[in-house]
Amino acid sequence: MSCAGCSSGTKGSPKGCGSKGGCSTGGCNRLNTFDWLAGVEQPSSDDFDLAEISFKNGSRKFFFHNPPHIGAMKNDWVVVESGAGYDVGKVSLTGELVKLQLKKKKVKNNTVFHKIIRIAHERDMEKLHEARGMEQKTMEKARVISRMLDLEMKIGDVEYQGDKRKATFYYTAEGRVDFRELIRHYAKEFRVKIEMRQIGARQESARIGGLGACGRELCCSTWLTNFKSVSTSAARYQNLAINQSKLSGQCGRLKCCLNYELDTYMEVLKEFPKHADILKTEAGEARLMKMDIFKRLMFYIYKNNKATRGKIFALDVNRVSEILAMNKKGQKPEELQGVTLNDEVFEEDTDLGFADVTGQIELPADKRRKRKGRGRGGRNRDKTKSKGRTERKSATDKKAEAKKNSKTKSKAQGSKQKPSSPIKGKNTSSQSRKRSENRNRNKNTKNKPPSNNNENKK
C-alpha cells in the first residue's frame, strides 16, 4: 500500500515521502481512509469547505475550513491556525468523504473549526523538519526530569508544533499525577509552551507503532480507532491457553484481535451440549479433554480403563448429546463408539495437486557410509563415545605424568643426599654399590629386619 503522493520516479522509487517503497512501515498510511470516490464524478462541493488535516504521519487528525481562494487538494502540505501560533499538516481528505468522517467521529454541529492559512512553502517545511528532529532529545530529557521528581508516570511521545512554539507531552499513568512542578521545569528547560496530555496504554502503542505477533503492523496504528474492552473469556471461548505473555500485545494489554472471531465462535458453540465434561459408559467414565469447535468434535479419554489406556476418542456433537440423554435416563452405552486419533478419518484424502518441485537428492557412496547408523540421537551417541575415549586418554596421560614426576623427585633427593666433603682415600662408587645391594636384600626378605650399615662396614 502507498499514498497517492508516491508517484514513481525514473528508477521506480517513489518521489514524495522518501520511504523508498516502504509505505507499509507506518509512514504515510497511518489511520488513512480509502478514497473510494476518487474515480467517480462528484457534484460541486462549494457549500462544504471542510478538509481533514493529519499531523505527524497521521497520529493526530482534525478538520479545518478550506477557503475557496486557497483550494487545497489532497496530499498538499498546508499551514493551519492553532490556539497558539500556527501548525503544518497534510491534507488527507476533502469533499464528500469528510461528511462521513464527521458522522463517524461524532463531531457536533456547533464545533468551531480553524482555517487553513496558506499552502506551505520551503521555509515552513524546514521548520517542520527541525521540530521533528528535536522531539527525540526532548523526550529523553523529559523522562530524566520526571524521574528526578519521583513522579509515577511515563513520557511516551512528544510532538512539537510546526512553528516550534508549543510542545505536547503524551504520558501514561495509573492514576492522577500532580505535574505542576514538572511543567515549571519543562518550561525552564525547553523554553516553549507546555501541554500535558494523558493517554492510555493502547493509545501509546498506536502513536509509537510497531509489528505484532502476526508479522504485520499494529492494528491500532494503521486502521483501528475504537478500542473495545478485551477479557480472558474471549480466549476461553476460542480454546486458547491462558498465557499472559502470548495473549498480551505490545501495549501490555490483551490483544484486540481476540475479539475479531469471537462472534463466530459463539455462534458455533451454541450447537455444543452443555455439562458434557463426563460421559458414563459400561467400560467406565470418560472425561472431556478438548474440543475442535469448527469440526464439531469433542475428544474424550477414559479415566480408569487399562484396555483403552492412552487412547483418545473423537465424538461428534450429536453422538455426545445422545449419550447424555441416555445417562439422564439411567442408561449407559457399551462404549463411546468414537474414532481414535490414529484412524484414517483424521487423514485428509483430498489431493490438493501440489507437485514436488525439489526432487530427491542422492548422496554419493562415501557420504552414505558415513551417515549409516545415525538415527535419532546418533550424533549424541558418537559424541558420548568420543568423550569417553578422551576421558580414558586423559586418565592414562595423568598416570604417566605422575610416574615421571615421582622419578624426577627421587633423583633430585638422591643428588641432595651426596656428601659435600668426601673422605680422602675412599671410593664413593663402592658406597653406592653397597647401598644398592642392601636394597635388593630388603626386597627379597621382607620379614627379616634390615641389615645394619655399621656391620657391613666392619
pLDDT in tens, the chain (458 residues): 344 445 445 455 555 555 444 444 444 556 666 666 666 665 554 567 888 998 887 778 889 998 888 888 888 899 999 878 889 999 988 888 888 888 888 888 888 889 999 999 999 999 999 999 999 999 999 999 999 998 989 999 999 998 889 999 999 998 888 888 999 999 999 999 999 999 888 888 888 888 888 888 888 888 887 888 888 889 888 888 888 888 998 888 899 999 998 999 998 888 888 888 888 888 888 888 888 888 888 888 887 766 666 678 888 888 888 888 888 888 888 777 655 554 444 444 445 455 555 555 566 666 665 544 555 555 555 555 555 566 665 666 777 777 777 766 665 555 544 444 444 444 455 666 777 777 777 666 555 555 444 444 44
| 52/91 Cα distance (integer angstroms) | 6
| 82/88 Cα distance (integer angstroms) | 10
Domain limits for position 263: 228-269
* Residue 394 maps to a domain: no
In a shared domain, residues 36 and 99 = yes
* Residue 284 maps to a domain: yes
Out of 324, 345, 366, a domain closes at 345
* Residue 327 maps to a domain: yes
In a shared domain, residues 132 and 198 = yes
| 235/369 Cα distance (integer angstroms) | 52
In a shared domain, residues 104 and 134 = no
Out of 70, 87, 118, a domain closes at 118
Task: List the alpha helices (DSSP H) in 280-340.
Answer: 317-328
Contact 5, 19 (CB under 8 A): no
* Residue 382 maps to a domain: no
In a shared domain, residues 301 and 329 = yes
Note the pTM of the prediction, 2 decimals: 0.59
Residue with cell 476518487: 38
Structural domains counted in the chain: 4
CATH code of the domain covering residue 164: 3.30.300
In a shared domain, residues 179 and 112 = no
> How many beta carbons lie within 10 A of that of residue 92, not counting itself?
24
